[in-house]
Structure 1
Amino acid sequence: MADNKRHSVGARTSAQGSSGATAGQGMAGAMVPLEVALSRAIGARVRISTSPVASTIEGTLFTACPITNLVAINTAEEGKSQTGDYHVIPVSRIQSFQVLSLSPSNTDGASFSDAVPPLHALDIRALKAREAAAVGKLQEGEARRGKGVTKEAQDLFDAFSRTMPARWDGTKIIVADAVSIAAPYRPDDCRPLVAGDTAALARVRMVVSWPYT
């Protein structure tokens, strides 16, 4: 009995632009907002009439967006198209709509199992891996930016990092964990971190003396 009543539900907007839904013949004329009636009919087969350009569209109500005030209707024949044939209609243009038949899933509550086009399960592990990779890349980029240093100091750091591992230790540049370069980053400001590693110190001092900008 309840299903028969739901099949006869229709919604109409007045010529002045007000919206509402009316029950079918033999039912009380209680009104509900058109947007509410549309949202309850998602997945059902509906017939919508529009104005001021008069047209009638029949198909499956794919979605009714309360933010954009748009509805999307798939007019493709059921079972014959996986891609669908969608029409997007502003709610303000809807003169009336009628529910022709309910979606099978509507009787048991909302379900995505019968959605067209089909909705596939998300690979949560892959999404988390992508998220972790993106966060790691951002953190790596942030770690390569000196805090409270001049542009020239950052340029010197970037020059080192293109050929050797480099990191910041406060305002000091640490190259290959072997040489420390303090501000103002001249050859004489280079200090060895590994006793006796004169080759690394000489190489870093040579790079510091080059024009690196």
Structure 2
Amino acid sequence: MDEALRGGTGTYQKLENGVLVPSPELFLRVAATLRFSDHHLRIAHLDLFRTDPVLSAGPASPHWHRWVRCHTETAYVCSPAGELIAGNDAFTQMFPSGRPPANMTEWALLSAEAREDVLLNWERDWAPYLLADLRLALARHPDDPTLRELRDAVRNDPRTRHIEDAPTGIGDEARRLRHAGRGTITVRALTSRTSDVTVVTLLSEGQG
């Protein structure tokens, strides 16, 4: 067991006896070696470190399509890297083209449609917070190839490379957007994240 953990002689015995408190890295090696389920991994990680572990994204549930259809507010679900999984009718109708993008993070940060037509005051009210969210996603999933490509793209883009990250990501502050189906509206973004998906609801506060 010590060899599997890449620790010194007696490492596992010290862990079992409570003599050694593992680092997060050592704990994850123990969990992988003993084949903890994700559920028990979360419980043990919270017990030891008071935080959730960062887990690799798994396959998204096919039932997200049903979930978004239950909402009248603009709602969508994407992967941690921004890849679109599901969106409701209000979401689809938001885009002037009528076609949602394959990747919401790429669209919001790099597309002319988002910058010029949909996300109003993009450079001030949207981009710094979207960049902060991208940085957080990269910290959680540093080896994700899509996130790494997006990081390189925003670094090389003439507009985004000069924008500083905000102190926080997109929150529920009021922002304005031009919804192709509903006109110019003020929205508040409510975001929930798991290891597998990011769920976003844009609560409309009416025209404005």
TM-score class normalised by the smaller sequence: under 0.3
The structure carrying a bigger helix percent of its residues is 2
Query: Relative contact order (alpha carbons < 8 A, sep ≥ 6): 1 or 2 greater?
Result: 2
* Larger Rg over CA atoms: 1
TM-score normalised per structure 1: 0.21
Higher strand share: 1
